[in-house]
Structures are given as structure tokens and as C-alpha cells.
Amino acid sequence: MLGIGGALGLVTATGLSTAAALARHPSMTGAQLRSAAPLPPPFQVPLPIPPVLRPVAPGRYEITQREASAEILPGLRTPLWTYEGTFPGPTIESRRGHPVTVTHRNELSVPTVVHLHGGRTPADSDGYPTDLVLPWSGVDHGHGMHDPRAVVTELTRDYTFPLDQRPTLLWYHDHRMDYTAPAIWRGLAGLHIVRDDAEESLGLPAGPRELPLMIADRAFAADGSLIYPALPDRPGVTEEYLAGVLGDVILVNGAPWPVHEVDAARYRLRLLNASNARHYELEAVTDDGRRLDLVQIGADQGLLAAPVTHATLPVAPAERYDVIVDFAGVPVGGRVRILNRLGAGRTREVMAFRVARRAADDSRIPGVLSADLPVWQRSDAVRVREFAFRAGRMHGHHGWLIGGLPFDPARSDVVTGLGDVEVWRLVADVHHPIHLHLAGFRVLSRSGRPPLPHDVGLKDTVSLRPGESVEIITRFDGYRGRYLFHCHNAEHEDMGMMANLEII
Ligand code: C2O
Ligand code: CU
Ligand code: CU
């Protein structure tokens, strides 16, 4: 058996021994690749904003998944797997309660699965890991194709999203069983924003002063191609990277350490950590060393009841934070760097804003942001469940387990009634960002203590730290069917750390 000690020995980012690592609370679980390509200096490449996808008809979109290449590092081409030829994929802009159907056509050489992360989606469109979209070309069907557990296979697939949910930043990404991590790494991720009139009437910064920021780390070979330590003959990664794959280049919207010109005004930053395993603790620092407030207005599942001000903001894989930063106090020509306090060397830097001009600002941050957050009480819960997220053995290999078991699509792990309120106690050995499909939840406690300031609001992913136990509360409403919960360290997810959540 691979014990926790063994796993930790392999997995700490710092390479410390188990005892030292536990004592020092390693900031991350994973091992970092080293790029061979020359890396650009920080804050030179302009920040790209992903294109907004145009509907082919009201409420209807088409996305072709295909190989493409992009100039990510100046002067080099990086082959990618893409949605519509770009990384990130095109952004879908939706309105609450207005259903959209997205037809995905797979022109890649491997089967894929699309999941709308954070979507309240009927099960048949939620991207169950064996509901494959087969490659259109039909040349090389890849490993998953002959998997007897694959239940639905098609060449194109219509995903229908009712979007009967709170407005927020969602993201769509690949979710194929055993191969999600390399597929996202190669580029299969895009944004999906849900809006409504109530949110738009608040007067928050908007238009060019609202910026989606998809943060992801990658590593590059000398020729500009992405490095990923996949095994040749089965899912998973080489032993050194079992704990998670970290890159040494920080991309925002697909650009390395970019820079963006801003007015001296408030901006709404819609942050997503789309990294496989890297955690960030973000801060906004002026050239004279002053920290700007990060005023959080929203969480994974939409607006908070009231704003919460942070000096630094931890962001685990798959989490989203909706944050206002005010550049008004920064002199024209000044720079604000977004830094990651958990990084080292070049991974400490994320991106920068250059204040280009003074400008009028009629935006505001209302003291009351929303009044429709669920108010579940512990006493509403009809049951309490506990799950341990730990290293272990699966099929004779190192893996990551929930309650001692690796993912099995044929097994029922949780069966719950539509509308039931439950408390879940999640216990971790190392860092595990835990995500529930379908249901937003609230964080009740961390190791018996009150939640952290950034645990506020309605979430769909919660970051467990080493040795921690976190209680969440949720109501399983929306749709009946088979969903998932899993660790969103994408390597852990591929190596077993996923379970079925069946709503009846
Ligand atoms: Cu972001 Cu099950 O996924
Ligand atoms: Cu999800
Ligand atoms: Cu994990």
C-alpha cells in the first residue's frame, strides 16, 4: 500500500521530507515541470480577451474541437487541442433562464467529453466521463474508445444547458474518463458567463472594465510544444508527478505573464484558476509596494450577499472569484502586478496592469449585492456523510481514492433524494480541491473552526488543505440523474479521485 507518508514524500512541491513538509504546510501538492523553451520577460505580452462565440441561431451554438497551434511564447508555435481553434476556447455569453444548446463536433484524434463546470445541467448534458463524443475523423480512436464502460458514443453531441441558475462565471472543459488532465492541459477549456438584469442593475464595472482572467500554468519544450508527463501505456502520469502537474509558465487567457492597460478606475476581474494542480494566493501590488484591496463580490456560484475585502486571495484549481480592484489611486504610468504568494521564482508573477490614463468612473460596489443566497441550516440536513480523500492503490498502481475506492462508473457511491439537504464532511491528506456537479454549496466549517473569509458565498469547489476536514452543506435540487463529485486536481481526478452522485 502506498501510505500517506509515501505519497507525501513524492508529492510536495518543495521536495521536503514528509515530516518537514507537514510541519511547513507545503503550499501546493504537485511537482513542477521545467520548460526548455526560452521564456519571455514578464509583463510584455498583451492580455488576450477570449473571443465571444456567436450563436448560429438564437440559443444555439456550434463548437468544433480541433487541433490548432498558437504563438504562446514569442516566436514559437504551440500545438494545442482547441475549441474552435483558440485557447482559451470562445466565451459563451448567456442570460439566466435562457437555455442554450451547444453542438460539439469532435475533429480531434481522441474521444472527448464536454462538461460545463458550475452549470445546473440535466444529467444527459452534464458530460459524464463515459458519454463520449467520438472523433469525427475516425482514424485513431485512442484508448477510451473500446472501453466497455463507455455507455454513450456519438460523433457530434448536443449539450443543452437550461441555465436556470444564479448568474456567474462558468467554464467548460474536457471530462473524459482517465484523460481529463492531459486534455485540459492541451487546451480544452473555455469560459461561459451567465448574466441577468438584477446583476446588471447594480452598477458594477462593465464593458471593457470587466475582464475574464483564466489563469493556468503550463510548461514548454524547446520547440514550443507543451510538455506533459503522461504514461505511454495507461492513464495517469509518471511517478514523479503523481501528486499533480505544475508548469513553470503562468498563462492568463493563454498568454504568458501578460500586461493589460487600464484606466485609473474600478475593474471587475472574473478570476478562474484553470490550472491542473497549481494553487495561487493572489495579491495586487503597486510599484511602490502598496497592496491594493481585492474586494470580492462573487464566488463560484455567483454574487455574495455583501462584498468582502481581502488583502490576498487564495484560489484553488477550478475555483472562481469575482473581484473588484480600484486602480484610481495608482499614478498614470504606474503598474500593478498580480503576484502569487505561493509561487517561487517566475511562478510568483502572474500578470500586470499598466495604468494608462485618468478616467471618469461611475461604477459602484453596492453594500448589498444579492438577496437570494440559500440559507440552509445544519438542522435542515436529513443526513451527514463523510468522505476521506487520500492517496492509495488502484488497479495495482498508485492512485487517489475517495473513501478508500477509486472511481468506478458502475458503482453507486451516493444516492440522495431530489431536494434533500445534506451536510458532507470532507477529510484530506494533501491538498484536494473538491468539486460537486449540479449543486452549489456553502462552507460550514474548517477543522471545527469557522470558514475562512474567502469561503463566503455559494461555491461548487472547495479547497481542502493538508490534514484538514471541511464541512459543506447543500441541497440537491435541480434534476434527477447521475452526477459526480471529485477532486479538481486534474491528475488526482484521472487517477481515481472521483465518485458518483445519484439524485433520485
Ligand atoms: Cu470542472 Cu467535474 O469538473
Ligand atoms: Cu463540474
Ligand atoms: Cu486531490
In the block, which residue shows the cell 482514424?
139
The closest-lying atom of ligand 1 relative to the alpha carbon of residue 493 is 2
Please list the rounded mean pLDDT of every run of 10 residues in the chain (504 residues): 37 37 61 98 98 98 98 98 98 98 96 98 98 75 48 82 98 98 98 98 98 98 98 94 98 99 98 98 97 98 98 98 98 98 97 98 98 96 98 92 97 98 98 98 98 98 98 98 98 98 98
Residue nearest to atom 1 of ligand 1 (CA): 117
Ligand 1 mean position, distance from CA 355 (Å) = 36
Tell me the ligand closest to 492's alpha carbon: 3
The dihedral through the CA atoms of 349, 350, 356, 358 has a sign that is negative
Parse the chain into domains and list their residue ranges: 4-27+373-503, 60-196, 207-357
The closest-lying atom of ligand 1 relative to the alpha carbon of residue 486 is 2
In the block, which residue shows the cell 435562457?
98
The closest-lying atom of ligand 1 relative to the alpha carbon of residue 484 is 2
Helix (H) or strand (E) holding 11: helix 4-11
Tell me the ligand closest to 459's alpha carbon: 2
> Is the pTM here over 0.85, yes or no?
yes
Tell me the ligand closest to 113's alpha carbon: 1
Fold equal for 4-27+373-503 and 60-196:
yes
Task: List beta partners, residue 298.
Answer: 303, 322
- Which residues sit with their C-beta closer than 6 Å to ligand 1? 115, 117, 173, 175, 318, 435, 437, 484, 486, 488
Measured CA to CA, the distance from residue 16 to residue 39 in angstroms comes to 27
Query: In the CATH scheme, what architecture does the domain 4-27+373-503 have?
Result: Sandwich (2.60)
Q: Are 137 and 73 in contact (CB under 8 A)?
A: no
Measured CA to CA, the distance from residue 384 to residue 182 in angstroms comes to 34
Ligand 1 mean position, distance from CA 325 (Å) = 28
Q: How many CB atoms lie within 10 A of CB 413?
A: 18
Q: What is the predicted pLDDT for the residue at 26?
A: 67
Q: Which three cell numbers stand for residue 106?
A: 469532435
DSSP-assigned states of every residue in 378-392 = GGG-SEEEEEEEEEE
76-to-70, 73, 171, 220, 371 alpha-carbon distances in Å: 8, 6, 27, 10, 49
Residue nearest to atom 3 of ligand 1 (CA): 117
- Among candidate residues 178, 182, 185, 181, the one with its CA nearest the CA of residue 145: 178
Structural class in CATH, domain 207-357: mainly beta
Q: What is the predicted pLDDT for the residue at 138?
A: 52
Q: What is the predicted pLDDT for the residue at 472?
A: 98
Give the per-residue SS3 of 26-39. CCCECEECCCCCCC
> What's the topology of domain 60-196?
Immunoglobulin-like (2.60.40)
427-to-278, 305, 402, 458 alpha-carbon distances in Å: 20, 28, 10, 20
The closest-lying atom of ligand 1 relative to the alpha carbon of residue 118 is 1
Ligand 1 mean position, distance from CA 175 (Å) = 7
Q: What is the predicted pLDDT for the residue at 27?
A: 73
- Among candidate residues 370, 387, 411, the one with its CA nearest the CA of residue 470: 387
Ligand 3 mean position, distance from CA 403 (Å) = 13
Ligand 2 mean position, distance from CA 86 (Å) = 22
Q: Which three cell numbers stand for residue 473?
A: 452543506
Ligand 1 mean position, distance from CA 435 (Å) = 7
